[in-house]
Amino acid sequence: MICCILYVFLQISLTGAAESGIVGGREAKPHSRPYMVSVQYRGVHSCGGILIQRDFVLTAAHCKNETWGSCTVVLGAHDITKKERTQQHIEVDEYYPHPGFTGQYEYDIMLLKLKKKAKLSKNVKTIGLPEGKTSANMECAVAGWGWTTAHDCPSNVLKEATENIESTSNCQNIWQQYFNSDHMICTNFTKKSGGVCQGDSGGPLICKKKLQGVTAFTSSEDCNDLRYPHVFTKVSFFIPWIKETMKK
């Protein structure tokens, strides 16, 4: 299993891209999230991603690792271990990590330009950029194919869970200098509902059917530790950069 963990050894280590995934949660209805992308290196799932245009995928900047060889995105998948007829495998042509990305957690967002445009269908669809804002206690959905702590192996099928938006003040109090409310969102969760973990990096935070966040980091000690909210890159903050980059 390829592993791309990025740690920031400060008070709390931050998770990276590909060791574990949705903890708890439930199996998603097949193809109910047609914008979901599996970002893969050498045929192995590394990160999640979101199809926002036929030839562009949005993901986390820390998911970039060209030393592993070419990167491929898989669209229209439910079980990523099978060759489903709905799947489209498209190589990445260009990587566009945000120029402000520090290599750790600031500006952790990236666009992947695909070598060819995806063929849209009922199983492969784009999702629009967000309109409106999130508010505390808003219920949101997360999804991914990462590893699960319960079985210590990657999930073959797409899993999903529910998390709620945490207040900005609480996010700041807990994560302190690691949290920037301008371009980050954080969520709370329960042991029962489950939530994201390392392998879900780059995947979406969906609130009221709108894309609001890109999975960024949790506590590396235990992504299911209720004391530490999960953190997402705030997509709305980056809309001008996203639009400008896709025009190039």
Task: Exactly one of 38, 201, 219, 220 is catalytic; name it.
Answer: 201
By C-alpha distance, which of 95, 88, 108 is closest to 35? 88
Q: Which residue from 189, 216, 188, 212 is spatially nearest to 202, judged by alpha carbons? A: 216
Query: Could you tell me if 182 and 12 are in contact, meaning their C-beta atoms sit under 8 angstroms apart?
Result: no
Which residues are within 8 A (CB) of 137 and not within 5 positions of it... i.e. 6 or more apart? 164, 165
Active-site annotation holds for 222: no
Under a CB-based contact definition with an 8 Å cutoff, are residues 154 and 199 in contact?
A: yes
Q: From the candidates 62, 78, 98, 183, which is the catalytic residue?
A: 62
- Concerning whether 201 is annotated as a catalytic residue, the answer is yes
Q: Would residue 108 show up in a list of annotated catalytic residues for this protein? A: yes
Q: Which of 108, 200, 219, 230 is catalytic?
A: 108
The secondary element (H helix, E strand) that includes residue 246 is helix 239-247
Tokens representing 4? Answer: 């791309």
Q: Report the catalytic residues.
A: 62, 108, 201
